[in-house]
């Protein structure tokens, strides 16, 4: 690919996070021009975004494509970037930005733009969750319910998520799950079941502290039902990379899995921040090192 006058495509989600994007394109274009790059823009609309973005990338000669949004935008860009073999970067503009954090990308927008001209390219794993592409985290149970409520709310940002979580926690009833992997089987109640390719939720909860994005494995992280008196202790452990130290947590490491809720034909799942209703059982498979991503050049990030 020619390096003269390289073009970079930025995929913008106009509604992600709670950030004012009115001057964003001007800022991105100006900074890129200062470093000899031409910025082009693609705006998501929620209608045929995958098809339209794939066509745009195929018709152009882009050095890289950047997801300028949250984890949902990153998911969209990742699945297309993988198909057309264009490396992907992230400018974090969402409510959580969990994948960008796991990649070691700064949460400062202007500083994150340095990835356009200074980066390290790496290949990471991706997942298929009942046929839906995932690059970071998916789950069933409590968090999936909160994400679904959050997606239908009028307010974005971490504060809105926390408020909904506190409201739902008071009345939430854990379900019973049957999980069959290529390594082991689990059956029992769980507060939430997280399918983890990465480590950290956008809320900075570290659900999978030892997971790696490029090792060819994913983890199923279970939080089993717990008494109300244990809630703060569990939350503290999740924020301090001590998931495995709780009596109410369990991890299953695998490459394939089937997750069902006995008696339910459909279940609610969130995939990279997007709520979906899928048939039970939920099937999960990993595709090793199938996506090229751009990370910071100055950090030795252990993916």
For 132-289, the fitting CATH number among 3.40.50.2300, 3.40.50.970, 2.60.200.40, 3.40.50.10300 is: 2.60.200.40
Which residue is associated with the tokens 């992230």? Answer: 90
Instruction: Please report the pLDDT score of residue 285 as a whole number.
Output: 98
Which of 144, 122, 126, 146 minimizes the C-alpha distance to 135? Answer: 126
Please state whether the peptide bond connecting residue 281 to the residue before it is cis, i.e. omega within 30 degrees of 0.
Answer: yes
State what percent of residues in the chain have pLDDT above 70. 92
* DSSP string across 18-72: T---TTHHHHHHHHHHHTT-EEEEEE--SSSHHHHHHHHHHHS-EEEEEEEESHH
Q: What percent of the chain has pLDDT over 90?
A: 71
pLDDT at residue 107, rounded to an integer: 92
**50/170: higher pLDDT:** 50
- DSSP assignment, residue 255? S
Q: Read off the pLDDT of each residue in 114-127 and give the average, rounded to a whole number.
A: 95
Does residue 244 have a pLDDT over 90?
Answer: no
What is the pLDDT, as a whole number, of residue 245? 87
Q: How far lies 42's CA from each of 54, 115, 162, in Å?
A: 11, 18, 31
C-alpha to C-alpha distances, 64 to 84, 86, 127, 242, nearest whole angstrom = 11, 6, 22, 36
Mean of the pLDDT values across residues 164-168?
Answer: 84
Give tens-digit pLDDT for 194-230.
Answer: 999 999 988 888 999 999 999 999 999 999 999 988 9
Pick the CATH number of 7-118 from 3.40.50.2000, 3.20.20.70, 3.40.50.1370, 3.40.50.10330: 3.40.50.10330
Residue ranges of the chain that CATH labels 3.40.50.10330: 7-118
Q: CA angle, 82 as apex, 80 and 83 as ends, to 5°? A: 65
> What's the rounded mean pLDDT across residues 166-186?
94
Give the Cα separation of 94 and 125 in Å (integer): 22
User: First-to-last CA distance in the chain?
Assistant: 27
Of residues 303 and 272, more confidence is placed in 272
10/73 Cα distance (integer angstroms):
11
* pLDDT, tens digit, 9 for 90 and up, residues 45-79: 888 999 999 999 999 999 999 999 988 899 999 99
Q: How open is the CA angle 133-198-64, to the nearest 5 degrees? A: 65
pLDDT at 2: 44
Distance CA 61, CA 13 (A): 22
Q: Does the pTM of the predicted model rise above 0.85?
A: yes
């Amino acid at each position: 690919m020619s390096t003269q006058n390289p073009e970079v495509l930025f995929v913008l989600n106009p509604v992600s996070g709670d950030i004012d994007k009115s001057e964003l394109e001007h800022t991105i274009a100006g900074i890129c021009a200062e470093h000899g790059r031409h910025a082009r823009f693609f705006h998501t609309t929620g209608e045929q975004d995958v098809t339209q973005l794939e066509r745009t990338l195929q018709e152009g000669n882009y050095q890289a494509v950047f997801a300028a949004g949250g984890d949902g935008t990153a998911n969209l860009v990742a699945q297309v970037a993988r198909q057309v073999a264009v490396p992907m970067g992230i400018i974090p503009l969402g409510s959580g930005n969990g994948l960008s954090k796991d990649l070691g990308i700064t949460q400062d927008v202007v500083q994150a733009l340095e990835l356009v001209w200074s980066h390290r390219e790496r290949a990471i794993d991706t997942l298929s969750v009942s046929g839906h592409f995932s690059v970071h985290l998916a789950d069933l149970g409590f968090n999936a319910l909160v994400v679904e409520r959050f997606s239908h709310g009028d307010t974005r940002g971490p504060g809105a998520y926390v408020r909904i979580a506190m409201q739902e926690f008071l009345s939430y009833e854990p379900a019973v799950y049957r999980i069959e992997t290529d390594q082991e089987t689990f059956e029992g109640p769980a507060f939430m079941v997280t399918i983890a390719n990465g480590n950290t939720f956008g809320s900075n909860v570290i659900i999978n502290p030892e997971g790696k994005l490029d090792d060819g494995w994913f983890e199923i992280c279970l939080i089993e039902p717990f008494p109300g008196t244990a809630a703060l202790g569990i939350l503290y452990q999740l924020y301090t990379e001590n998931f495995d130290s709780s009596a109410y947590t369990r991890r299953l490491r695998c490459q394939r899995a089937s997750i069902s809720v006995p008696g339910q034909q459909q279940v609610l799942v969130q995939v990279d921040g997007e709520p979906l209703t899928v048939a039970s059982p939920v099937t999960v498979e990993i595709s090793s090192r199938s996506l090229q991503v751009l990370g910071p050049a100055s950090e030795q990030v252990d993916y």
